[in-house]
């Protein structure tokens, strides 16, 4: 259960985000940002930062904190989106962050040190080592996945790359110096979040986690992984979760379907992924969370995901919050309104019913925000729907089998439109 236990933060949570007062985010290209929702506003590049702790206490970072303290958050381009949403009473990242125990627990002490112009340690770090990945999800691209890069280069014509807005992104990776800078700040972290690329596909994550689990087992860890391939050395590192008694180790597995639907969406093997999740539970003694990305490809396939994982011992809960809005051609919002709304209304009944079953099995289903998010925001466009179907055909070619053979609703829509 998340709680704000900081007096100073409670007083200011309507005009201040705790993240710049707690740490920073580092992207695969070395860009340092305030958080993961503002990648287009890098503050500096990691190669130009000799050490992260000094940078954290520098005037460059203080600029953001002072603006927030002076109620000028609206003037910060990186923060204006959160600020506008919070002001409109909508869910946003800033509101969520301000409830995290990992950023509030030391907030008062650090606030006091800051007032005395004394240095504070970095408490929060989110990083992505590289865009190295072993899957090619139908919702993703080469910005996040090196495997997508190969396919975009080899199996797409120039015209297709343009039509589907897929510039080929090169492989990007933090270097040894960058990794060392991260290792130096591990001892004082309250929260370490690792994204990707695919975390288990990059050995630098194993190096960093091996160090972090030894020097700071009290830290809270969050890792977002596809769980497609977990090497013996990764499992050896993960053994430390149990042996070092790491209490807060949260693994979120991105699972977008069951069986062949999973294989199609993710370009991986469902069976292997399940095996890895079982082994993860045996090795660490920790359950994991299933987090599907909801797209037009699995909009009619929810129940199967919920049913399959409802009683699995290795599952702690299922998190339904992530709707793919971009690229537009993977969004469920491209469906004809009648079909979209009929399904959404059915989900309003189906999901709470699933939640009750999942709760009975001692697990949790988070779903409140999803029912709110599944709302048509613009008029229907046949052109956009055709584009979604075109993308499915391209993916059918890449996978060597048809998604429509496993999702009858998509078969009907395809027949209707063609
Ligand atoms: C880019 S991945 C990186 C971590 C890891 N490779 C994985 O898939 O879990 C992070 C998350 O983004 C989700 N995702 C993929 N495509 C998306 C899209 N178009 N919109 C929103 N989320 C997406 C994935 O399902 C995953 O949970
Ligand atoms: S596994 Fe993650 S990074 Fe890789 S293609 Fe899928 S969503 Fe993208």
The CB-based long-range contact list for 111-115 (8 Å cut-off, 24+ gap) reads: 111/6, 111/8, 111/21, 114/21, 114/65
The ligand whose atoms approach the alpha carbon of 332 most closely is 1
Alpha helices in 285-399 (DSSP H): 302-309, 337-360, 368-373, 382-399
Cα 365 to ligand 2 centroid, rounded to whole Å: 23
Cα 151 to ligand 2 centroid, rounded to whole Å: 13
Cα 265 to ligand 2 centroid, rounded to whole Å: 10
pLDDT in tens, 138-160: 999 999 999 999 999 999 999 99
The pLDDT-based confidence of 48 (bands split at 50, 70, 90) is very high
Mutate to test the pocket of ligand 2, among 27, 140, 229 (most ligand atoms within 8 A of CB): 140
Give the CA distances from residue 52 to residues 270, 332, 340, in Å, rounded to whole numbers and listed in that order. Answer: 39, 41, 47
Given the CA of residue 133, which atom of ligand 2 is nearest to it?
Answer: 4
Return the bridge partners of 24, or none.
Answer: 125
Closest to 36 measured CA to CA, from 196, 226, 180: 196
Q: Supply the pTM of this predicted model.
A: 0.94
For residues 211-229, give the mean pLDDT. Answer: 98
pLDDT at 107 (0 to 100): 96
Alpha helices in 216-324 (DSSP H): 232-243, 259-266, 270-284, 302-309
pLDDT in tens, 296-331: 999 999 889 999 999 999 999 999 989 998 899 999
pLDDT at 3 (0 to 100): 58
pLDDT at 196 (0 to 100): 87
Cα 130 to ligand 2 centroid, rounded to whole Å: 12
The reply to whether ligand 2 has any atom less than 6 angstroms from the CB of 324 is no
Residue whose CA is at the smallest distance from ligand 1 atom 6: 198
Given the CA of residue 323, which atom of ligand 1 is nearest to it?
Answer: 21
Rounded to whole angstroms, how far apart are CA atoms 227 and 268?
10
Cα 32 to ligand 2 centroid, rounded to whole Å: 21
For residues 43-58, give the mean pLDDT. Answer: 96
pLDDT at 361 (0 to 100): 93
The pLDDT-based confidence of 370 (bands split at 50, 70, 90) is confident
pLDDT in tens, 2-46: 555 799 999 998 899 999 999 999 999 999 999 998 889 999 999
For residues 149-177, give the mean pLDDT. Answer: 96
For residues 251-261, give the mean pLDDT. Answer: 98
The reply to whether ligand 2 has any atom less than 6 angstroms from the CB of 322 is no
The reply to whether ligand 2 has any atom less than 6 angstroms from the CB of 256 is no
pLDDT at 2 (0 to 100): 52
Q: For the chain, give the percent of residues with pLDDT over 70.
A: 99
The reply to whether ligand 2 has any atom less than 6 angstroms from the CB of 391 is no
Given the CA of residue 293, which atom of ligand 2 is nearest to it?
Answer: 7
Mutate to test the pocket of ligand 1, among 254, 296, 299 (most ligand atoms within 8 A of CB): 254
The pLDDT-based confidence of 91 (bands split at 50, 70, 90) is confident
Closest to 225 measured CA to CA, from 188, 200, 192: 200
Given the CA of residue 225, which atom of ligand 1 is nearest to it?
Answer: 9
Structure-token pair, residue 329: 């051609």
The reply to whether ligand 2 has any atom less than 6 angstroms from the CB of 332 is no
Residues touching ligand 1 (Cβ under 6 Å) are 133, 137, 139-140, 144, 195-196, 198, 224-226, 254, 291, 293, 322, 324, 326, 330
Residue whose CA is at the smallest distance from ligand 2 atom 6: 137
pLDDT at position 177 over 50: yes
Given the CA of residue 144, which atom of ligand 1 is nearest to it?
Answer: 1
pLDDT at 50 (0 to 100): 96
pLDDT at position 180 over 70: yes
Angle ∠(52,222,1) on CA atoms, nearest 5: 115
Cα 145 to ligand 2 centroid, rounded to whole Å: 6
pLDDT at position 245 over 90: yes
Given the CA of residue 128, which atom of ligand 1 is nearest to it?
Answer: 3
Cα 255 to ligand 2 centroid, rounded to whole Å: 11
For residues 385-400, give the mean pLDDT. Answer: 98
The pLDDT-based confidence of 368 (bands split at 50, 70, 90) is confident
Given the CA of residue 253, which atom of ligand 1 is nearest to it?
Answer: 9
Dihedral sign of CA atoms 400, 252, 196, 391 in order? positive
pLDDT at 86 (0 to 100): 85
Rounded to whole angstroms, how far apart are CA atoms 36 and 312?
31
Cis status of the peptide bond prior to 197, with omega within 30 of 0? yes
Ranking 87-101, 214-228, 243-257 by mean pLDDT, the lowest is: 87-101
């Amino acid at each position: 259960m998340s709680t704000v236990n900081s007096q100073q933060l409670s007083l200011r949570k309507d005009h201040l985000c705790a993240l710049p007062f707690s740490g920073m985010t580092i992207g695969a290209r070395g860009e340092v940002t305030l958080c993961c929702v503002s990648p287009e506003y890098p503050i500096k590049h990691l190669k130009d930062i000799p050490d992260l702790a000094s940078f954290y206490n520098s005037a460059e970072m203080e600029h953001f904190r002072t603006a927030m303290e002076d109620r000028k958050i609206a003037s910060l381009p990186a923060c204006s989106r959160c600020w506008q949403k919070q002001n409109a009473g909508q869910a946003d990242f800033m509101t969520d962050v301000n409830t995290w125990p990992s950023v509030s627990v030391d907030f008062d002490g650090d606030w006091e040190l800051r007032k005395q112009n004394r240095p504070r340690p970095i408490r929060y770090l989110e990083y992505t080592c590289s865009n190295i990945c072993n899957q090619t999800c139908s919702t993703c691209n080469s910005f996040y996945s090196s495997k997508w890069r190969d396919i975009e280069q080899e199996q797409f014509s120039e015209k297709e790359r343009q039509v589907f807005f897929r510039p080929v992104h090169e492989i990007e990776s933090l270097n040894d110096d960058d990794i060392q800078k991260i290792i130096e700040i591990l001892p004082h972290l309250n929260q370490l979040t690792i994204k990707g690329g695919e975390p288990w596909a990059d050995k630098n994550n194993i190096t960093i986690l091996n160090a972090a689990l030894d020097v700071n087992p009290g830290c809270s860890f969050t890792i977002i992984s596809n769980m497609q391939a977990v090497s013996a050395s990764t499992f050896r590192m993960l053994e430390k979760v149990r042996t070092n008694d790491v209490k807060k180790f949260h693994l979120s597995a991105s699972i977008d379907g069951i069986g062949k639907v999973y294989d199609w969406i993710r370009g991986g093997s469902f069976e292997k992924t399940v095996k890895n999740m079982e082994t993860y539970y045996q090795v660490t003694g920790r359950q994991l969370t299933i987090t599907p990305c909801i797209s037009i490809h699995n909009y009619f396939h929810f129940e199967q995901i919920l049913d399959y994982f409802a009683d699995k011992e290795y599952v702690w809960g299922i998190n339904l919050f992530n709707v793919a809005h971009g690229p537009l051609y993977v969004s469920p919002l491209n469906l004809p309104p009648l079909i979209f709304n009929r399904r959404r209304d059915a989900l309003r009944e189906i999901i709470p019913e699933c939640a009750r079953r999942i709760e009975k099995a001692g697990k949790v289903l988070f779903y409140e925000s999803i029912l709110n998010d599944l709302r048509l925001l613009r008029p229907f466009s046949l052109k956009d729907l055709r584009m979604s179907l075109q993308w499915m055909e391209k993916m059918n070619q890449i996978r060597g089998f048809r998604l429509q053979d496993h999702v009858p609703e998509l078969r009907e829509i395809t027949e209707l439109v063609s």
